[in-house]
A and B are shown apart, each in its own frame.
Chain A
Amino acid sequence: MTGSYLLFLLSGQLFGARLEGALEILPWRVARKVPLAYSYVEGLIDYRGVIYPVFNLAQKLGLKPQSPIGFTAQGETTPAGLQSIILLEEKKAPLGITVDSIVKMIKANEVAPDASKGDGFIRGLLYDDNKEILLLDFERLFFHGG
């Protein structure tokens, strides 16, 4: 299946999101904190009249931030490495994910994943410049329990 994809980097790994679901790319911003939320929830943002939950994708995937550990004044700068928020829609549910950087947009053929990989969170694979790119199933990652 050929489609358009947005490629992004997270903890040094390349991931992709189908452009049909990628609505907006925002510079990182502080989200409204939500008490009792899952640990990987950054909070909520209100963008163009829609309330998006913002998920820390690296934390959900158990990836370590790339930036060196150091002191960061709270509220003044972005968390280690995170530069952008991608706003998506999965099965009509809006969501935002934090990523390190946006790489590019490509047209590519999506192939089925190896079923043994990724705990079912990988919905497909892409190949670009001989690199394997993981397409994540955001619905399964974020909307099926904590």
Chain B
Amino acid sequence: MAESTRFVILSLEGDKYAIPLSSVVEITAPHGLERDKNLTEIFEGKTEFRGKWLPVVNVKKLLRMQGLPGKVLLVLKGIKGMVGLLVDTVAEILETDKKAAPFPPGVMNPSTTCFRGILRHEGALVLLLNEDGLL
């Protein structure tokens, strides 16, 4: 039997995205967010998390989407360390033994690293974010 993987399903401007649950450290509210002029435009600021400063990314800016920054903070750990992502909602956990489908050719510049592939969930396509390729 194929091994199943669990994903956190989140939303941005009404569309669903997924991220592997194994990379999620905490889902919380973005308290005490401080601006930091040393961070680039895609960062909304930084916040203290477990005694350390956590850079917080406005994912909508990163993905060049319209809309206000999300109100949910998703703390991720990746190969480059921990980072916070602001998303609109975190709705559920998807457990599936299906592998993500690759992106069809011609959709975006092949050097784009923000996505790992595409999942199907409840009749919709869910874009799988690449936690190590977002920054």
Residues on B lying within 8 angstroms of A by beta carbon are 15, 63-65, 101, 104-109, 112, 114, 118, 120, 124-125, 127
Closest chain A residue to B60, Cβ basis:
A35
| Interface core residue of B104, B112, B118, B125 (most chain A CB under 10 Å) | B104
Summarize B's interface: helix, strand, loop or mixed. Answer: loop
| Interface core residue of B15, B101, B125, B127 (most chain A CB under 10 Å) | B125
| Interface core residue of B15, B64, B107 (most chain A CB under 10 Å) | B107
Q: Is the CB of B118 within 8 A of A36?
A: no
Q: Is the CB of A36 within 8 A of B104?
A: no
B120: which of A41, A46, A95 is its contact (CB, 8 Å)? A46
Min C-beta distance of A73 to chain B, whole Å: 15
A142: which of B106, B114, B124, B127 is its contact (CB, 8 Å)? B106
Q: Is the CB of B65 within 8 A of A34?
A: no
Contact A41-B107, Cβ < 8 Å, known A32-B15, A51-B125: yes
Q: Is the CB of B63 within 8 A of A44?
A: no
Q: Is the CB of A51 within 8 A of B105?
A: no
Bound Cα distance from A41 to B65, whole angstroms: 15
B108: which of A32, A41, A52, A94 is its contact (CB, 8 Å)? A41
Residues of B within 8 A of A34 (CB): 107-108, 127
Residues of A within 8 A of B65 (CB): 35
Closest chain B residue to A45, Cβ basis:
B125
What 8 pairs between A and B have smallest CB-CB spacing? A35-B63, A142-B106, A32-B125, A53-B104, A143-B106, A37-B108, A53-B107, A37-B107
A53: which of B15, B63, B106 is its contact (CB, 8 Å)? B106
